[in-house]
Amino acid sequence: MNISSPSEQQLLLAGYILGDLNADESQAFEQLLANDPTVQQELAQLQSSLDTVYGQEVAPPPALKASVLAAAKQSTRSSVSQRSRDNLLVATGSASTGLEPANTESTSSIDSSKAAVKFQRKILLLVSGVLAALSLYLGSQNYSLRQAVEALQAEKAALEQTENDAELVRYSLDATENATGSEQTSSVEISVNRDRLTAVLDVKGLPVLSEDQVYALWTVIPEDTPATKDAKNAILTAVFKVDEAGNQIEEIVLPSVFREQTQVEAIAVTVESADAPQDHESSPILFRQL
Amino acid sequence: MDSAPSNQYEYNSQTDTALWEALCAGDSAALGQLYDRHASLVYGISLNMLGNTQEAEDLTQDIFIKIVESKRYDPTRGSLRTFLAVLTRSRSLDRLRSRQSARRSQQKLESSYAASPNTSLDPATQNVLENEQSETVRTALSQLSVAQRQALQLAYYDGLSQSDIASRLNAPLGTIKARTRRGLLKLRDILTTQAKGVRGENLEGRIDE
């Protein structure tokens, strides 16, 4: 693409700032950039015009930068660690058994790579077992093999840690307008393990109920989800009471809809009759959209 | 945003493209520099749209992590700053929709109960733009044609692709591209002239004194 006139050049610069160059224009833009040092200044002016009209700059809190950089470092490290595990698998013979390295697109997300991590963990356990047996056979003289076993064991520990970190998702419930004063100041958290379909319910400061009442935890699901639910699209998930201080910690079993995030709309807590909490007659005092 | 262009974004010794390439090559310090240049825009858009500092901080962090992880930005096609602004608006809208969906869900759940909360929902972004624009900016925009103004807003503010805009406005893609670009060039010329005018008035004022 040949850009000759100044007006064409200007349109090209505007296209770059708007982010809509096609491949040919992109090439022409790079040539322009290389040949004309004043282009950068023009780009700055155009960008500034967009900022002036549509931008809304506000200085973020100073501490945010450190937080972003630390999170980025962590993210990069887990991505690199994942890649090194892939390489290790290939180097120890998985390629010859037909296993492909994990898709690097999916390694960037801990959640999305959980299945791959589990699979690799099994492979690592198998390979480390074989290597350990081989190492015994060859005796202490095979130094490099021992090193490989140690490296695999370290990787296995790291994988277990990653898996544990990835599995628990914590949700705090918020008080609704129906909550009383002490319910408003209470803290109810649920730490969900989607793979195991279990959760830890951690309650602090809820009022002690009378004998004929209980707290009910509900899983609210979309109307079209194929699951057994009540008229309010809710599944009774747990029934609990609190101790004298208003606290309670217990492990609960979750309905299978928790396996898919899209199948769960919210979780809610109500106060129900102890005889028939499944009747679901009360308003939610605590609520959390998922 | 009263004097244009007040928030002049400067291309320093290292361009965004150079920093981006350094970041992709593993130079983590480059992210710090890119953050310094663009965080106030990302945070400002997030805060303006979400209206909550905690959520705005969360989204700002999310945006910077996402660009590092996905490497989806292509420096040969457009500027990083525009990419970040459009991405931030898009993610803010996702969160607003999710928040509205949460409220609807809660209302739906509570509608069957005796006490129903009286919560009204605001449209996600309606009037945000108008409320934010200063007189200077409104004057500048009023000098663009309606079609240019519409195309620019759809492209930059609403984050639509050129082909989406062409489809929405029922116009050929080439026409939309040219219209948006000419709109931006005209906007720059108007703002630059206005800024010169303001500087001239200030100078005259000082001379009179």
What are the pLDDT digits (tens) for A36-60? 888 989 999 999 998 888 878 999 9
Round to whole Å and give the CA distance between B203 and B88: 39
CATH class of the domain at B133-209 = mainly alpha
Min Cα separation B207/chain A (Å):
29
Residues of A with Cβ-Cβ distance to B137 under 8 angstroms: 52-53
Residues of B with Cβ-Cβ distance to A53 under 8 angstroms: 133, 137, 140-141, 152, 187, 191
Residues of B with Cβ-Cβ distance to A30 under 8 angstroms: 76
CATH code for B9-122?
1.10.1740.10
Contact A64 B15 (CB under 8 A): no
- How many A×B Cβ pairs under 8 Å? 216
Residue A198 has pLDDT above 90, yes or no: no
Structure tokens at B144: 């663009």
- Scanning the structure block, which residue is given the tokens 């970041």? B23
Min Cα separation B134/chain A (Å):
8
Round to whole Å and give the CA distance between B176 and A151: 57
The answer, as to whether pTM is greater than 0.90, is: no
Q: To 5 degrees, how large is the angle CA A54–CA A46–CA A34?
A: 145
* pLDDT tens-place string over residues B115-143: 433 333 344 444 555 555 677 888 888 99
Min Cα separation B26/chain A (Å):
9
Q: Tell me how far the alpha carbon of residue A131 is from its chain's centroid.
A: 34
* pLDDT tens-place string over residues B25-42: 988 889 999 999 999 999
Lowest mean pLDDT among A4-8, A63-67, B5-9, B115-119: B115-119
Min Cα separation A143/chain B (Å):
33
What residue spans of chain B are helical by DSSP H?
A: 16-24, 29-50, 53-70, 80-111, 128-132, 135-142, 146-152, 162-169, 173-208
Contact A40 B112 (CB under 8 A): no
Q: CB-based contacts of A232: which residues, under 8 Å, 6+ apart? A: A218, A220, A280, B109, B112
Average pLDDT, chain A: 76
> Confidence band (pLDDT; 50, 70, 90) for A189?
confident
Round to whole Å and give the CA distance between A224 and A99: 39
Q: Which of B112 and A211 is assigned the larger pLDDT?
A: A211
* pLDDT tens-place string over residues B156-168: 888 788 888 899 8
Mutate to test the interface with B, among A12, A21, A47, A230 (most CBs of B within 10 A): A47
| Portion of chain B with pLDDT greater than 70, in percent | 74
pLDDT for B20: 93
Contact A50 B39 (CB under 8 A): no
User: Which of A45, A60, A76 lies at the smallest CB-CB distance from B40?
Assistant: A60
User: Which of B31, B53, B156 lies at the smallest CB-CB distance from A72?
Assistant: B31
What mean pLDDT comes out for the span B89-99? 87
H-run or E-run covering A286: strand A284-289
ipTM above 0.90, yes or no: no
What mean pLDDT comes out for the span B89-112? 76
Residue B109 has pLDDT above 80, yes or no: no
Contact B112 A232 (CB under 8 A): yes
DSSP-derived letter for residue A283 is: P
Burial of A192 (0-12, 13-18, 19+ CB in 10 A): buried
pLDDT for B4: 39
pLDDT for A118: 56
Residue B205 has pLDDT above 80, yes or no: no
- Scanning the structure block, which residue is given the tokens 């500048």? B140
**CATH 1.10.10.10 spans which residues of chain B?**
133-209
Which residue from A minimizes the CA distance to B119? Answer: A177
Contact B82 A54 (CB under 8 A): no
Structure tokens at B8: 């002049």
pLDDT for A249: 86
The CATH number of A173-289 is which of 2.60.40, 1.10.3470, 3.30.70, 2.170.140?
2.60.40
Round to whole Å and give the CA distance between A33 and A47: 16
Residues of A with Cβ-Cβ distance to B115 under 8 angstroms: 177-178, 283
CB A45 within 8 A of CB B192: yes
CB A132 within 8 A of CB A152: no
> Confidence band (pLDDT; 50, 70, 90) for A107?
very low
pLDDT for B5: 40
> Confidence band (pLDDT; 50, 70, 90) for A95?
very low
Contact A56 B117 (CB under 8 A): no
Q: CB-based contacts of A239: which residues, under 8 Å, 6+ apart? A: A214, A215, A216, A217, A272, A277
- Scanning the structure block, which residue is given the tokens 């739906």? B108
Contact A15 B177 (CB under 8 A): yes
Contact B105 A220 (CB under 8 A): yes
pLDDT for A225: 80
Domain edges within chain A: 6-54, 63-167, 173-289
pLDDT for A196: 80
User: Which of B77, B109, B188 lies at the smallest CB-CB distance from A45?
Assistant: B188
* pLDDT tens-place string over residues A5-42: 888 899 999 999 999 898 999 999 988 888 888 898 99
